[in-house]
Amino acid sequence: MTTPILLTPGPLTISRQTKESMLRDWGSWDADFNRITARIRERLLAIVHGEGTHECVPLQGSGTFSVEAALGTLVPRNGKVLVPQNGAYCQRILRICRVLGRAHQAIDYAENEAVRVEDVERALAADPSITHVALVHCETSAGILNPLQAIAEVVARHGRSLIIDAMSSFGALEIDARTMPFDAVIAASGKCLEGPPGMGFVIVRRAALEQADGNCHSLAMDLHDQWVYMKKTTQWRFTPPTHVVAAFDSAIEQYLAEGGREARGARYANNCRILIEGLAKLGLRSFLPAEIQAPIIVTFHAPAISNYQFKAFYDAVKSRGYILYPGKLTTLETFRVGCMGQMGERGIQGAVDAVAAVLLELEAAA
């Protein structure tokens, strides 16, 4: 059996070309390597049209490291963060605020509800001490798409700053710095850009970054320091994940060759449609209403099979070459399927076919 295809929203299945670009070793001081870093930063900035106004600061680690770094660097110690909350990644932001000792306030939603602009507006009007809003663009826990553009406009109108966790949307869904006011957009190598996991990056409005000198609670997480050092030396401050950087560069090259944001977004949207329609034919219902379903990851109700257990379902689908993702809802039994990554020759239909075969198997055994 060949390596199974990951139907998970990062790590995900990366192309052979991306994998092969990890076969060479790079010195972190080497000018050729630092040119790769510079090219990645430039191209990431261009994806959101932030040239001239924003800076791209890369950071070692998984995506959460960059979320923590952005909050720690950009929110002053006496700042306050408003977090509209509809899933696990929003809760993680609240937890980071708690650990960093930054004042915070949540607006809580159900796991199948998108954030409402009016609520954010009301909270901002009621509390002038709120300095920042932290919004998760696509809440990967259920797959909800939050109304980013409308919220960005409200936050700007109230003169506050917006920090966007766009981890599972960056590169696939539109974010345009020319028309959308924000201070920071956070993402990572191993999501929609289809690189290996291992580094994150934050696109920061230059003026906000300049003002952030000395805010950060941590040396390693200080994006201002990373930025200043990189500007001065072209190098990363501490050992970079060299192979990941080289592979991410290759992944971005392939992304641009595929047609960039629009092509990537269209491919995922098509996967999402085939998946939802295909599994619906098998009697598997998706959890979210279509209007708030992001074309990134889909939550499905567990199959109505007696003695259903995710583990057995997972193992059976895995033996047919696909890795599912467990559900992350608090009360309902669900499972998730990602729409992203290199799905191989049979594409997402291969995954639908595998689930179909497994359901027949499990039903026959039940």
Ligand X SMILES: *Cc1c(COP(=O)(O)O)cnc(C)c1O
Select the residue whose beta carbon is closest to ligand X and give its number: 63
Task: Name the minimum Å distance from CB 30 to ligand X.
Answer: 27
Question: Is residue 140 a contact residue for ligand X (CB under 6 A)?
Answer: yes
Residue 9 or 265: which CB sits closer to ligand X? 9
83 and 94 in contact (C-beta within 8 Å)? yes
Question: Is residue 34 a contact residue for ligand X (CB under 6 A)?
Answer: no
The one segment of 36-44, 60-68, 176-184, 234-242 that binds ligand X by CB under 6 A:
60-68
Residue 130 or 188: which CB sits closer to ligand X? 188
d(CA 201, CA 186): 6
The one segment of 63-71, 107-115, 279-287, 337-345 that binds ligand X by CB under 6 A:
63-71
Residue 200 or 240: which CB sits closer to ligand X? 200
Residue 34 or 132: which CB sits closer to ligand X? 132
Residue 143 or 303: which CB sits closer to ligand X? 143
Report the residue from 13, 18, 34, 62 that binds ligand X according to the rule CB under 6 A: 62
Question: Is residue 60 a contact residue for ligand X (CB under 6 A)?
Answer: no
The count of chain residues that interact with ligand X, using the rule CB under 6 A, is 13
Task: Name the minimum Å distance from CB 89 to ligand X.
Answer: 4
The one segment of 39-47, 160-168, 202-210, 256-264 that binds ligand X by CB under 6 A:
160-168
SS (H, E, C) the chain: CCCCEECCCCCCCCCHHHHHCCCCCCCCCCHHHHHHHHHHHHHHHHHCCCCCCEEEEEEECCHHHHHHHHHHHHCCCCCEEEEEECCHHHHHHHHHHHHHCCEEEEEECCCCCCCCHHHHHHHHHHCCCCCEEEEECEECCCCEECCHHHHHHHHHHCCCEEEEECCCCECCECCCCCCCCCCEEEEECCCCCCCCCCEEEEEEEHHHHHCCCCCCCCCCCCHHHHHHHHHHHCCCCCCCCHHHHHHHHHHHHHHHHHCHHHHHHHHHHHHHHHHHHHHHHCCCCECCCHHHECCCEEEEECCCCCCCCHHHHHHHHHHCCEECEECCCCCCCEEEEECCCCCCCCHHHHHHHHHHHHHHHHHHHC
The one segment of 62-70, 211-219, 278-286, 338-346 that binds ligand X by CB under 6 A:
62-70
Question: Is residue 64 a contact residue for ligand X (CB under 6 A)?
Answer: yes
Sketch the per residue contact string, 70 through 109, with ligand X: x for CB under 6 A, - otherwise. Answer: -------------------x--------------------
Residue 88 or 269: which CB sits closer to ligand X? 88
Binders in 165-204 for ligand X, by CB under 6 A: 165, 167-168, 188
Pairs from 26-30 (Cβ < 8 Å, separation ≥ 24): 26/242, 26/243, 26/245, 26/246, 27/242, 28/235, 28/236, 28/239, 28/240, 28/242, 29/235
Task: Name the minimum Å distance from CB 362 to ligand X.
Answer: 29
Residue 151 or 362: which CB sits closer to ligand X? 151
Question: Is residue 10 a contact residue for ligand X (CB under 6 A)?
Answer: yes
Task: Name the minimum Å distance from CB 197 to ligand X.
Answer: 6
* Residues at the site binding ligand X, with contacts judged by CB under 6 A: 9-10, 62-64, 67, 89, 136, 140, 165, 167-168, 188
